Structure 1
């Protein structure tokens, strides 16, 4: 491990920077500058116990308010997602053009947003929906004093959900005066604006006994489509073979078809990006028709196909010219529909937010406090026109078809055997041979209906009230310096989604057929759907989501008694929590009779938990040689849930800290944490989604894995023999699947180890360095069957290889084409199925020193901070019943591992302050990653594809540089600004593995250089 760490760190600047400077560390005692002046430090503990320097064994990182200003961020998650402890979340933040979406969440250690806990002032905030996560868009950036990131399982201290840690936003609560902040952000390529205004007013009252603060925020972020960004974002890029001369790592090349029996490389081509898209196209793509001369055809049908110009048709079926009169074989990628131009790259957002806080000292022992929050967030998502896909019935004498094509349909009708039932939405129709109806599989892009748009309006209300104070001492030797805090919080989130661009599947089928001998309303041959046809099939939808949370808690802390080395601190308390959520879909989405936005069934339920907890810290030794202070600590929490799959559960932690001297402090902790299932995981109705995945039965599967054994399973699970490994089995890079809750799921459990050292050398005043090893092992992970869609496919076809297995039984296919496409899905409901494990090292430090040069030499100083994470392991076990099947995802990206998980991620900021001027530069680094199509089989010792046969298999390391400044014009007046990604680096591009926008937009910068300029007035 050490050799690997050393060699990896030597690349970019990781090792040098980490050891010389490594940020956001806590300080044991206030370090001093070279002239002896004290440097302001922040001491946080990740504990409910009163701070005693470095007695806290749990690593905590701190992001102060200055970092938010220097980054130009108006949404809090933008800053935290750049921190190395966090991994990007696809359906998160401004790049999440998905439904549901529009929220911003945090993915600590890459375990998912539901496995870290978000607090505000140490208390739970509002939940956004059934997943019980907090929308970070509701956190007021202008009021943040500091953000504490407690890494490692913290359930014993803070309760369920804190598997990977806690993010605590500490707000300014004693503000006096008036502060107005106005900021404008824009990008260099589209110049789209974001306007942000903050007004904060606060002051003391009642002779200083009380303080009240009110803050108002308005945010207006403009939309950026992929068309506007152009370049790498405009086309729907996928993997393919291109001519060597046209090869590019970021743009579509010229498609190249190798001669039969030759690979792309053997024929002189290159594996690269092609301008592909969806196989469901505006002119219609029709499949399920036997090929000429195949075993499923007959002479009469062969003759009809040849006469209609379809003698050379392949597995992609046929399409029509613009008039709909001439049919021809469909081609890929030439005919594929480009989904990208109208899709949003950055979704628009309008936000109003009001926060109010106050406290009042009734007497020396009682202080009352209140917090109130209201926010209105409106975000829009925009997607390409919907497609419709599946088997449909047509009249064989359809008047929109030419005579030769009518003959093709007539022969298909005559060839039918038995009764064929076609299900479309809520309707079913049957056909028999010679009844004048033929079944054809349709893949049609309904451009005439218009773009899909979802307007999501989310209103959040939260109120907290409590009392805190000092109770004094019970006696001089027992229960001293007692403090209490008791509070109640209520939060409610309501979201209304208005959707346009949906289509009724049953209405589509009904209007394809003649009624009373009249021509069908719909002409789907060519781009020829009329206004009347659009009106007949188009539907809107309105969906409602509501979530509520109530918390009542009381805590008592103080000194229990004294030991020779010092007082024993304790904290104990009770907590009651109620979480409830419901999702009420529109009738069309509820019935499944919808094409466009994903259908789903209603969700509704609640959870209640009653808890008792305690924490203790005991000094063992003090003021001895090599032991300035040695402390031990422990915590427990007992939680009683009203869930039959959970019941009563314990969490606990033990740890210690050893201060060798004032310069060297060691710390360590073991924590056993749990997470109870949330409302969505328990009671979520079946919902449809489309995710990037590779069908092992299609031509998209790696050539090395297209074996006879896989073919046999493909045929056994419903793929027609002639279609196996063909392009027709997967016409899109995404696959439809159904997921939903399970009321029987139980808790997740994790064990976390952290061991570290903190250095505050007196020989280098102003320097603080921390190095911490972390290891988190999660079992019983609540996940979709098999660990998700792609894992379920892999388990069915590559691992278990039995059509009767639960993984294969979950996959339903179109009986005509073999596709997993509506109305045939993979169903992956929740279970405590898998495991997750990660391990690595966090490096952090800051260093402040004065200089004798600058605007005002007596007031000139440098602040240098850096924060890095080396991830040694990130392993998922999709199904713990198969413990040998693991996905070793560190350093990988792809359809199985998801967002890039680099070995190294970090950043360094250098700020020079001289008089009224502050200048700052920041370096952000994301390490190189390799496709999981190569790394996963390699690490398991399986057959490894040649990298030359993969498109952009390695994404290079990314280095971003940011600049910012601030200048105090006068007392209380400041201007500031800056630029992010000043060298305008485009994100690395991937093809078929991309979850959206041809890249991983939640990980990499997608806007190029972005700038901001603001002013702050305070009086």
Structure 2
């Protein structure tokens, strides 16, 4: 149904509205389809043989003597899953950086790191920098920590440790054998759980989709039209089994423990000080010394419950109804060739997410304690989880999101006046939009009792905007020496949002197209664009996240930062003066913060400058070359306040040191102790906090030429094209309040800069056309990138920047992918096509800094060689 695709680069909000902050892709559909056409395609990857099926069926007809046309197009797609375990060549292990055993080639999947003596580096000690197989410290046999290490001042506890075989106990805690009959100190990474194999590398998907387009000429000048859409997408995600690692209460006489370990737990109970409150989901309990309850952090991976599964079903409905036509001219020289377009659209999406194999925190805690003198339901020491335990603690959860959007627009286009160089074209109009969304989690998710998936609160909200817009195209000069034509263009849009953080906002653009001759033309444009916050960013429900952070007002703050200036801010933000820098301010390094929407958000704003040249030489009439420079800046990027909890604390106390700042105002403390804990929780809501800047050059070329050779007789032709981008700059400013803190990311990848940002990347294609057969070779290029752990601090001039040689595999090599394909017209009704993507089967570069599967799967090819074959039939 697609007739052509148009790509508009640069900020285009003046023409298209909010969200067109970096450009627009327009799909122009056919409006005259007749007959029946079906298209079938099968894709299969070589490493796993996993199929993807895709079938299209389109039928259309003209009616009323050609005054109308209606077409219905259906699609069915079935994509099977691929797990990380099925791609053991790069994705199976959970890799981490480390010092590997000599001779391992820098990749030791045995999980035994090379020991580095004190005062030496890995290489000086004879090891190799590389990857180690590791994973999560929450393991199937359980890891129990958060207790004093052996060798401390508590002699009775030390004796109990020794009797239980834990005399070497350290900060990692202890674990059990499979039977749960013996304990030993836990070690890393050998004991860690491999998170990789259970996770999907490619998620399964099933999609049904129907589109219908129709129009009818009410008269010679007026046309009514309609678009209808329905799709049902079902996509599943799978993750490693649920883990819980939190402070947990145990009976000191737990019957599943050996007598020696029961004595350990008894000594831990006796060593408790004060009243300790333990929160497990919706349940809260307290413990004191000698009450028969020991507090231990229990970290366990509940593999018996099975992998976590999330099945998302999304139904989308959309309808558009409009009328367009010609209304003639007021005169030949003013307001001529006038056309109008009026339409209304209504869209609705219903998204249901079903979560399986999660755990209830409160049920788990209850199942670990004796009830009425009976043995606890769950034995989590070793591999002793029973079906009764699974039934007691396993839960599912469901959330539902419903979103709607309505749009009404009217526009008038034509020629305003006749100028010497041509008519002045214009377009004016108005638009109204309303977007609404409702998020409804079930009781487990909204209460925070679920473990395995993020909790969240219900929310709803809407955004309404009224807009007026206009465009002009002004011919200035034509048919003069050095100016074949000179045309100026401009556009504006005024948007009035019902949001206090935005209100009324202008977007606009202006540009010039200068055609020197038929051989060469120049173009340039400036655009101001915006992206208004969406409903989720504005009204998203609060999610409470418990994470590791250091409170600058506590005894855990570095001694050098415990200054008089920090003390003053601590007191001003609610810490009692006698408590500042004391142990009671923040008893632990894990405390909560609320993340979520902020109804006062403003719009992101961008400025785009583009300058380009186009060559279309007459000596090569089918050659086109363009070179365009782009420079884009974006301010007010929407993200969590300060970049997160720790950054917000640092900005408040160590950088700004202003109790009235937004960062300090986000910190809530207990008036008694100064502690950040329920119900006094940090509020890290969304904010217009950051900025981005990027610049570079786009190169594009097209060439078609005929040759006298054709193996099937006659002549043939070649089509050649290339699109290459040089990225000169990509700079992020995490907090605009501190413009001197910048991350220079061009040519890098990693946890700070994100997806690889190579300086060079491009796609080229050569197609050989031979009568009814076409053969095509495509080359995809992704340039080399270097870890931002080295790039960012080095470019910032930091004295603590690491040496490149001290980082395992610091660069990802340039990637070259070659794809081949063919297209054969068997006759005028049958077309067969096929090919192979990534012919050489290149594996993605392996790195521990990627977000998934030991690589950057959104940038690099993770499928290996992929074969596809299909056919189109026309009736």
Q: Same fold (TM over 0.5)?
A: yes
Which of 845, 852, 864 aligns to 1:988? It is 845
Alignment partners' CA distance in 2, 1:321 and 1:650: 67
Alpha-carbon distance in structure 1 between the residues aligned to 2:471 and 2:75:
38
Match of residue 672 from structure 2: none
Q: Does 1:203 align with 2:57?
A: no
3-state DSSP class of the match of 1:936?
A: helix
Call closer, same or farther: CA 1:969–1:666 in 2, change over 3 Å: same
- Structure 1 residues 613, 623: closer, same or farther in 2, change over 3 A? same
Match of 2:234 in 1: 378
Contact 1:389-1:822 at 8 Å conserved across structures: no
Match of 1:268 among 115, 126, 137: 126
1:834-874 per-position Cα deviation (integer Å, ceiling 9, x unaligned): 11111111111211111111145545111111111111111
Alignment of 1:603-642 (within 5 A): 603-642=459-498
The aligned counterpart of 1:532 is 388
1:951 aligns with 2:808: yes
- Which of the two has higher C-alpha Rg? 2
**Deviation at residue 794 of structure 1 after TM alignment:** 8.5
CA distance in 1, matches of 2:645, 2:776: 44
Instruction: Report the CA distance between 1:689 and its aligned residue.
Output: 7.8
Question: Closer, same or farther in 2 for the Cα pair 1:842/1:639, shift >3 Å?
Answer: same
1:887 counterpart (728, 740, 743) = 743
Deviation at 1:994, TM superposition (A): 2.1
The answer to whether the 8 A contact 1:253-1:272 is kept is: no
In structure 2, relative to structure 1, the CA distance for the partners of 1:215 and 1:848 (3 Å cut) is same
Q: Is the 8 A contact 2:108 2:132 kept in 1?
A: no
Determine the C-alpha separation between the residues in 2 that align with 1:176 and 1:305. 82
Q: State the shift of 1:810 in Å.
A: 7.8
Task: Output the TM-score relative to the length of structure 1.
Answer: 0.79
| Distance (Å, rounded) in 2 between the aligned partners of 1:851 and 1:829 | 63
Q: Kindly provide the CA deviation profile for residues 395-449 of structure 1, in whole angstroms up to 9, marking residues without a partner as x.
A: 1111111111111111111111110001111111001111111111111101111
Q: 1:961 aligns with which of 803, 818, 824?
A: 818
Alpha carbons of 1:754 and 1:821: their partners in 2 closer, same or farther (altered >3 Å)? farther
Residues 467 and 474 from structure 1, CA distance in 2 versus in 1: closer, same or farther, beyond 3 angstroms?
same
Cα distance, 1:954–1:491 mapped onto 2, change above 3 Å: same
Where does residue 51 of structure 2 map in the other structure?
Answer: 193
* CA deviations over 1:288-342 (Å, ceiling 9, x no partner): 1111233xx4111111112211111121111111111211110100000011111
Post-superposition shift, 1:795? 6.5
Correspondent of 1:288 among 132, 138, 146: 146
Once the two structures are TM-superposed, the CA of residue 349 in structure 1 deviates from its matched residue by: 0.5
The superposition leaves residues 681-708 of structure 1 with CA deviations (integer Å, 9 ceiling, x where unpaired) of 11001236899xx9899xxxxxxxx997
Aligned equivalent of 1:69: none
Tell me the CA shift for residue 802 of structure 1: 11
Higher strand share: 2
Q: Does the Cα contact within 8 Å between 1:570 and 1:615 map onto a contact in 2?
A: yes
**Which deviates the most, 260-269 or 672-681?**
260-269
Cα pair distance change 1:729/1:474, threshold 3 Å: same
Please show how residues 123-522 of structure 1 align to structure 2 within 5 Å.
Answer: 143-248=1-106, 254-294=112-152, 297-522=153-378
Partner of 2:783: 927
Asked if structure 2 preserves the Cα contact closer than 8 Å seen for 1:249 and 1:952, the reply is no
**Residue 828 of structure 2 is aligned with which of 967, 971, 976?**
971
Would you say the 8 A contact 1:855–1:915 is kept in 2?
Answer: no
Are the equivalent residues in 2 in contact too, given 1:390–1:822 (CA < 8 A)?
no
Distance 1:854 1:579, change over 3 A: same
What is the 5 A alignment of 1:1000-1015? 1000-1015=856-871
Contact 1:247/1:253, CA 8 A, preserved across alignment: no
CA offsets, 1:83-117, max 9 Å, x none?
xxxxxxxxxxxxxxxxxxxxxxxxxxxxxxxxxxx
Inter-CA distance 822–287: structure 2 relative to 1 (3 Å threshold): farther
Whole-Å separation in 2 of the counterparts to 1:981 and 1:382? 27
Deviations 1:813-853 (A, max 9, x none): 9xxxxxx9999999642001111111111111211111111
Q: CA deviation at 1:787?
A: 3.4
Change (3 A) 1:518 1:251: closer
User: Aligned pair in 2 of structure 1 residues 811, 928: CA closer, same or farther (>3 Å)?
Assistant: farther
Gaps of at least 5 residues in structure 1 are: 1-142, 698-705, 723-727, 814-819
In 1, Cα distance between the equivalents of 2:868 and 2:646? 40
Moved more, 855-864 or 454-463: 855-864
Counterparts of 2:582 and 2:749, CA distance in 1: 32
Q: Distance in 1 between matches of 2:836 and 2:561?
A: 52
Cα distance change on mapping 1:790 and 1:998 into 2, 3 Å: farther
Match of 1:15 in 2: none
Q: Distance in 2 between matches of 1:936 and 1:799?
A: 20
For the aligned residue pairs, the C-alpha RMSD in angstroms reads 3.0
| 1:335–1:247 CA distance, 2 compared to 1 (3 A) | same
Q: CA deviation at 1:261?
A: 3.0
SS at match of 1:231: coil
Q: Report if the CA contact (8 A) 2:195-2:240 is conserved.
A: yes
Deviations 1:915-944 (A, max 9, x none): 111000000011111111111100100021
Secondary structure at 2:840's aligned position in 1?
A: coil
Change in CA separation of 1:812 and 1:928 when aligned onto 2, cut-off 3 Å = farther
Greater Cα offset, 489-498 or 796-805: 796-805
- Label 1:867 to 1:168 Cα distance change in 2 as closer, same or farther (>3 A): same
Secondary structure, counterpart of 1:899 in structure 2: coil
Instruction: Tell me the SS of whatever aligns to 1:304.
Output: helix
Name the structure, 1 or 2, with higher relative contact order (CA <8 Å, separation 6+): 1
1:196, 1:217 within 8 Å by CA — same for their partners in 2? yes
Distance 1:518 1:801, change over 3 A: farther
Q: CA 1:807–1:1000 in structure 2 vs 1: closer, same or farther (change >3 Å)?
A: farther
Q: Give yes or no for the alignment of 1:915 onto 2:752.
A: no
Q: Secondary structure at the residue paired with 2:156?
A: helix
- Aligned runs of 1:486-885 on 2, under 5 Å? 486-687=342-543, 739-787=595-643, 828-855=684-711, 858-885=714-741
Change (3 A) 1:383 1:906: same
Aligned residue for 2:158, secondary structure, equals: helix
Shift of 1:251: 6.2
Bigger drift between 658-667 and 240-249 goes to 240-249
Contact 1:386 / 1:595 at 8 angstroms: preserved in 2? yes
Cα distance, 1:807 vs. partner? 6.8
Asked if structure 1 preserves the Cα contact closer than 8 Å seen for 2:100 and 2:108, the reply is no
Q: Cα distance, 1:793 vs. partner?
A: 8.9
Q: Name the SS for the 2:523 alignment partner.
A: strand
Gap regions ≥5 residues in structure 2: 552-556, 670-675
* Number of equivalent positions: 846
Q: Offset of 1:566 from its aligned partner?
A: 1.0
Aligned counterparts of 1:480 and 1:321: Cα–Cα separation in 2: 87
CA distance in 2, matches of 1:271, 1:970: 60
* 3-state secondary structure, aligned to 1:829: strand
Matched-pair contact (CA < 8 Å) for 2:758–2:784: yes
SS at match of 2:600: coil
Shift of 1:883: 0.6
Alpha carbons of structure 1 residues 244 and 707: separation in structure 2 relative to 1, 3 Å: farther
